[in-house]
Chains A and B, each alone.
Chain A
């Protein structure tokens, strides 16, 4: 283990007084010829997996190979929402495990990931929808997760600036509130896990694109990269939107289509929105950043794409959602919008686990929901790699589930958007 420079009030004061330089948070490692475990993709999931392999399973001869720089993918592009309000068995437990890990993460990593448990409110715009939310809330409470059903009057007290007028297109009937949900500083998650993994001896190798696999029959024994050949005892794929590109090198087709999701931020305004709000009439959610910008997003653009550039008609529909929900937002200027490539699956649920290839593990298909899953994915994938056996929390997420008729559809938000 490397000498750790811990962050603390004491180290801050000392640097302030004596002006000594902060050391780099992690080394720039060069690839070695062989590792026990190679993880492809230096996003949130790959870095979390490397960290838990080293911290929980004592496997430290590990490399994370990233084609760009760490955190250049979706981990740095998402809208930072974390929550555990899921209905389906399997999901409820998995996402609650993730939220619990979020709650301890800044301490675990000695790195402030700025978890802000500001609460998330999911709205119902009709009595039927409120019943559905009540059922979800009950499921959560039966699993020991906090959930509160709010009536229209409670919602109005909590967030008075929504459209409660008689002519509102989507009248508000109530909502489901999870107080422990909130936001996390996304870049800090990548940096915190990177620093933690590096301290435990993991090599984080940037500008290293994986271009192929080394095989011995159906066993994967390493990878070809832009920085040479690397042999690996075990290999894990954590490349998000490029999952199909990676498995194509093995002649393996996935139940995945890559789609573009946009996100938006407005000019900063004074503190206004204290919670995360999810519209119930369309896929639309909004929160306010610490700098004051309203951060929001909606549906994927609607056709498969690797361009990372959003199309304008989606800007319009998302803006329409914003104004239908919070009329006051009509006066705000959008500062930036950007896109990320999501690996969409038929049932909207991801794949984590072993693969048809020995010593190869897949983590893919996270659709809209991979950021909140980052700690639990790392936790479960590390276990799966260390034991060559799926962690109990992810048994419902195997990549061959459609062959067995076991699709796991929480929302109907998968790649079939064009058939909805």
Chain B
């Protein structure tokens, strides 16, 4: 996953700095305006699935990578949109952010 730096002018975001998230609607905001909502790479089993193993894996298991991660955030103290963010969990460097609904996430 390519980690493009979305911050204009201010250089890279390192783990020293506060995590800031480039909301597609509101621009770059402190992460404290957002609420983290977990791994966005998992896909929910079909609602008709009755296989407990599939649901168990979806709900309880995590790749938990040290590095590139794609994840949900909700801009609860801003536009309230759900966002899919690319972030490196080892450095907090952020990549692209997009609206979850535009990526087909529900």
| B91: A residues at CB distance < 8 A | 307
Secondary structure class of chain A's binding surface, majority of residues? mixed
- How far is B63's CA from A245's CA once the two chains are assembled, in angstroms? 9
B66, A255: Cβ atoms closer than 8 Å: no
Taking CB atoms and an 8 Å cut-off, the chain B residues in 7-36 that contact chain A are 15-16, 18-19, 30-32, 35-36
- How far is B38's CA from A351's CA once the two chains are assembled, in angstroms? 21
Partner of B89, one of A255, A256, A306, A313: A306
- How far is B15's CA from A312's CA once the two chains are assembled, in angstroms? 12
B15, A304: Cβ atoms closer than 8 Å: no
| B36: A residues at CB distance < 8 A | 302-304, 418
Partner of A309, one of B15, B31, B59, B66: B15
Decide yes or no whether A244 CB sits under 8 A from chain B. Answer: yes
| A302: B residues at CB distance < 8 A | 36
Partner of A402, one of B15, B60, B63: B60
Taking CB atoms and an 8 Å cut-off, the chain A residues in 105-150 that contact chain B are none
B62, A311: Cβ atoms closer than 8 Å: no
A313, B30: Cβ atoms closer than 8 Å: yes
B90, A255: Cβ atoms closer than 8 Å: no
Instruction: Report the minimal beta-carbon distance from B36 to chain A, rounded to whole angstroms.
Output: 4
B66, A254: Cβ atoms closer than 8 Å: no
- How far is B32's CA from A245's CA once the two chains are assembled, in angstroms? 28
Partner of B63, one of A253, A303, A306, A307: A253
Instruction: Report the minimal beta-carbon distance from B3 to chain A, rounded to whole angstroms.
Output: 15
- Contacts A311-B18, A311-B19 given; indicate if A304 touches B92 (C-beta within 8 A): no
The number of residue pairs between A and B whose CB atoms lie closer than 8 Å in the complex comes to: 71
Total chain A interface residues with beta-carbon distance under 8 A: 25
- How far is B68's CA from A360's CA once the two chains are assembled, in angstroms? 28
- Contacts A307-B15, A311-B19 given; indicate if A418 touches B53 (C-beta within 8 A): no
| A242: B residues at CB distance < 8 A | 66
Decide yes or no whether B103 CB sits under 8 A from chain A. Answer: no
| A93: B residues at CB distance < 8 A | none
| B69: A residues at CB distance < 8 A | 304
Interface residues of B toward A: which range?
20 to 34
Decide yes or no whether A257 CB sits under 8 A from chain B. Answer: yes
B89, A312: Cβ atoms closer than 8 Å: no
| A402: B residues at CB distance < 8 A | 56, 59-60
B60, A255: Cβ atoms closer than 8 Å: yes
Decide yes or no whether A3 CB sits under 8 A from chain B. Answer: no
- How far is B71's CA from A418's CA once the two chains are assembled, in angstroms? 12
A245, B66: Cβ atoms closer than 8 Å: yes
A247's nearest neighbour on chain B, judged by CB, is: B64
B56, A403: Cβ atoms closer than 8 Å: yes
A244, B64: Cβ atoms closer than 8 Å: yes
Instruction: Report the minimal beta-carbon distance from A222 to chain B, rounded to whole angstroms.
Output: 23
- Contacts A255-B62, A418-B36 given; indicate if A305 touches B89 (C-beta within 8 A): yes
Instruction: Report the minimal beta-carbon distance from B80 to chain A, rounded to whole angstroms.
Output: 15
- How far is B67's CA from A242's CA once the two chains are assembled, in angstroms? 12
Which of A244, A257, A303, A312 is the most central at the interface, judged by chain B CB atoms within 10 Å of its CB?
A303
Instruction: Report the minimal beta-carbon distance from A169 to chain B, rounded to whole angstroms.
Output: 21
Residues of A within 8 A of B (CB): 242, 244-245, 248, 253-258, 302-307, 309, 311-313, 346, 402-403, 418-419
A-B contact pairs, 30 of them (CB 8 A): A244-B63, A244-B65, A245-B64, A253-B57, A253-B61, A253-B63, A254-B64, A255-B60, A255-B62, A257-B62, A258-B64, A302-B36, A303-B36, A303-B71, A304-B36, A306-B89, A306-B90, A307-B15, A309-B15, A309-B16, A311-B19, A313-B32, A346-B59, A402-B56, A402-B59, A402-B60, A403-B53, A418-B35, A418-B36, A418-B37
Given contacts A242-B66, A255-B61, A307-B92, 10 further A-B contacts (CB under 8 A): A253-B61, A253-B64, A257-B39, A257-B64, A303-B71, A304-B69, A306-B90, A312-B18, A313-B30, A313-B31
Residues of B within 8 A of A (CB): 15-16, 18-19, 30-32, 35-39, 52-53, 56-57, 59-66, 69, 71, 89-92
